[in-house]
Amino acid sequence: MATTPLLFDLGRSPTTRDVARLVKDGGVEALPDAQRRGDAATYQEIRCRSALNRVKGMPFFKWTLNPYRGCTHGCHYCFARKYQSQLELNAGDQFASVIFVKTNFVEVLRRELDKPSWTKEMVGFGTATDPYQPIEGTYRLSRGVLEALRDAASPVGIVTKGPLIVRDTDVLQDLSKRAACRVHISIPTVDEDAWEQLEPGVAHPRQRLRAVRQLVDAGIDCGVLMAPIVPGFSTHPAKIERTVKAIADAGATSVGAMVMHLEGGTRDHFMAMLAREFPEMVDRYEQLYARKYVAKNYDARVQEVVGLMRARYGFKGSRVQRFKGSLRFNGSRADRAPTSRESTPAIVAARGASAAISTCSCSAWAPSPMAPKPSSVGTPSAAVKLPSEPPPALPS
């Protein structure tokens, strides 16, 4: 009986180039062997030709690793949404509902690390899509990546929102003995409303804080990234203070912060979400984000608050550690002071000044749909004092 030949001879699984052609011609439904799982996402196994991805313009690492493409965490602010268009997919729902799994990733990585030309430069792991999103529990590719880096004694900096990383504590301990290894858990805020609105598929902040504690207790260099801080959702001084306090209480070795930026498909998706859920915020966002990055004076005000809270809760130095600074994947663990209650000059100055952050007006965003409320995570402490005049009004 005659059969219709396949459009592509894909073998066991297609490459990303094959996928782009298939989706362009026939949509997601044309993907071969794609499986829909209980989390309502569709997973397609693919083959990769390379694992190490060379990047330019990054001051702390020159290579990245991403064994998955797409992410079921579905964070509305995720900058990696824009990359879905390269596969003929949209940056909205398909970013979180169509996930590509590079099944041969570890095998390819080991070959690349074994080459004489590999000079063991710093590698960023999880810089686009999360390496510890739930499907990692099935494929275990990220564990395989860490094992390969350990065997090659190659340094790595890891970024994740997934508490699943504690499963690989043993490999992280071994890797840390052979090369620089630094973990960054992303916890933009401990505010539950903001978490529910912005991170629909991510573990609760408390779970991520527990992961920080477990890793630190196991001797792993683990810091936290408050990235991104989102205007109107997590920028109120009380929310920032609760978050920094909770991070300090979890024992994190550092804390970095970055205000959200918007471009490409991420901007389109985020603004559509605002128009749907918080239409009263759209005009203000269009003013605040006239370009990719938030207005400089606004960013400076938010960073000032974060910096004061870092001083208040025992992180070395009163100046804020920005996101780029926190990604200093060099193995240094000197960012955090020995205890969070010692009196340092910065803390004394912060306590002794006259203007409290908590008195900052929030009228620029009133009425805010995300006003601060008591939280079971990071109970607010006494108000921190500014060393000089209070910053201009912050959104709530």
| Domain boundaries, given as residue ranges, for the chain | 16-386
Q: Is the bond into 338 cis (omega within 30 degrees of 0)?
A: no
Pairing of strands 123-125, 98-102: unpaired
pLDDT for 381 equals 38
- Angle (CA) 329 335 337, round 5°: 155
Q: How far is CA 302 from CA 44, 223, 307, 389, in A?
A: 40, 20, 9, 14
pLDDT for 305 equals 96
pLDDT for 383 equals 39
d(CA 372, CA 191): 8
Helix and strand element counts for the chain (H, E): 14, 13
Q: For each of the chain's 396 residues, which pLDDT tens digit applies?
A: 444 443 333 445 666 556 555 555 555 455 555 554 446 688 889 999 999 999 887 777 889 999 998 899 999 999 877 665 554 444 446 777 788 899 999 999 999 999 999 999 999 999 888 999 999 999 999 999 999 999 999 999 999 999 999 999 999 999 999 999 999 999 999 999 999 999 999 999 999 999 999 999 999 999 999 999 999 999 999 999 999 999 999 999 999 999 999 988 889 999 999 999 999 999 999 999 999 999 999 999 999 999 999 999 999 753 344 444 444 444 333 355 434 333 343 433 333 322 333 323 233 342 234 444 444 344 333 333 333 333 334 444
pLDDT for 161 equals 97
d(CA 198, CA 192): 10
Indicate the pTM of the whole model. Answer: 0.76
pLDDT for 197 equals 96
Q: How far is CA 301 from CA 296, 306, 341, in A?
A: 9, 9, 25
For the domain spanning 16-386, the CATH number is 3.80.30.30
pLDDT for 96 equals 74
94 and 101 Cβ atoms separated by less than 8 Å = no
pLDDT for 300 equals 95
